[in-house]
Amino acid sequence: MTFAEVIEVVGKVVDAAGVAAIVVGALFATFLSVTRRREGNVYRLFRRRLGRSILLGLELLVAADIIRTVAVTPTLESVGVLAAIVLIRTFLSFSLELEITGRWPWQQAPEEDLPRSDAEDRDARSMGTRDAAGTVGP
């Protein structure tokens, strides 16, 4: 196997991992939303989980494009196509981040607004308390 063939295979594997991250994340988010629909605020949690899986998948897809473009065909045309792909996916990532958190990636979240992990949400539910917005919390 030549170097170019190995890099092409590696790129395809990383591409597959990106697609798998999106698909598995979407299925997992759907499963959790269906099984926990009585816990309140299911839509917000579903969007957060789905958005996280899409963001992870996009990052892996960009990595695969970079691997294939830089290592296999570093022509001016291929680098230009890569730049366009990275710009589009970066815009999508920023848009998803804004949709998920309500702020741009470079904006610091106030301490009380930081999103909790699923484990923290589960712990808060086990304590059974809610804040003024109706969110379960400590």
pLDDT at 76 over 80: yes
Confidence of residue 129 (pLDDT cuts 50, 70, 90): very low
Compute CA distances 47 → 7, 68, 86, 128, whole Å. 35, 31, 24, 23
What are the sequence ranges of the domains in the chain?
Answer: 3-107, 109-138
pTM of the model: 0.67
In this predicted structure, the answer to whether residue 13 has a pLDDT above a threshold of 90 is yes
Question: What is the length of the chain?
Answer: 138
- pLDDT, one tens digit per residue, over 32-45 is 988 887 777 888 88
Give the pLDDT of residue 23.
97
